[in-house]
Structure 1
């Protein structure tokens, strides 16, 4: 059972990394049916079919065959994804370090530790912080 769960999670991570959604797997039947239509109607092989629907011939194919637009919307892998990664650049960071500010640059500890005479703490690794 553990192996099945491990394999399932691994496949899920692999498919999500390749941006394949569950909806795309369900729509593979539509892809096969539309490919068979193109093969019978236009004599396209699979590479030409992929180029017409996902590659460089997509724009011209959509212009010429407006009547197939409903079938094209049902095909898998039609979703758009956007990835936003904000980048921050700090130029002249030296000015920030040497500037005068109201906040002290050196933080002082706000705690102290006094050894109690009880044996609650002992020599265990869980000791309260010490001010040195």
Structure 2
């Protein structure tokens, strides 16, 4: 069970590193439906379809087919996002011997124990299960 959980979490991290969200995964059916529409209507294969919606033909396709604008907004991977990260690692070669510290003998207790006084405990109702 732990291996399955580890693999699934690794897969989620991999998808997120590519910029794929769960919203995009849920819109895959819209992608397939629109690709089939293009295949039937315009005779486009998958590569031409991807080029028209995500590649170099996108601008001309958007201008020529304004009636499909609502369908295009439902396609996955349409979000514009920018991911950047800056990592700084500073190694300081500073060595100082730790000074010994004194432990004081003063002890302050912030808790106390009070014996249970409920009637259920004194009657013996709450008992652990016994083997028969």
TM-score category, normalised to shorter length: 0.5 to 0.7
Instruction: List aligned pairs for 1:109-128, cutoff 5 A.
Output: none
Instruction: List aligned pairs for 1:7-26, cutoff 5 A.
Output: 7-26=7-26
Q: Deviations over 1:37-86 (max 9, x none)?
A: 00000000000000000000000000000000000000000011123557
Is 1:59 equivalent to 2:59 in the alignment? yes
| Runs of 4+, deviation exceeding 4 Å | 112-116
Shift of 1:14: 0.7
Cα distance in structure 2, aligned partners of 1:74 and 1:36: 15
Is 1:47 equivalent to 2:47 in the alignment? yes
Q: Deviations over 1:95-131 (max 9, x none)?
A: xxxxxxxxxxxxxxxxx76879x9xxxxxxxxxxxxx
Please provide the CA RMSD for this pair.
Answer: 2.7
Task: Note the residue ranges of structure 1 that are not aligned, 5 or more in a row.
Answer: 87-111, 119-132
Cα distance in structure 2, aligned partners of 1:115 and 1:77: 61
* Alignment TM-score, normalising by the size of structure 2: 0.64
* Alignment TM-score, normalising by the size of structure 1: 0.64
Cα distance in structure 2, aligned partners of 1:33 and 1:43: 14
Cα distance in structure 1, aligned partners of 2:102 and 2:79: 64
Shift of 1:30: 0.1
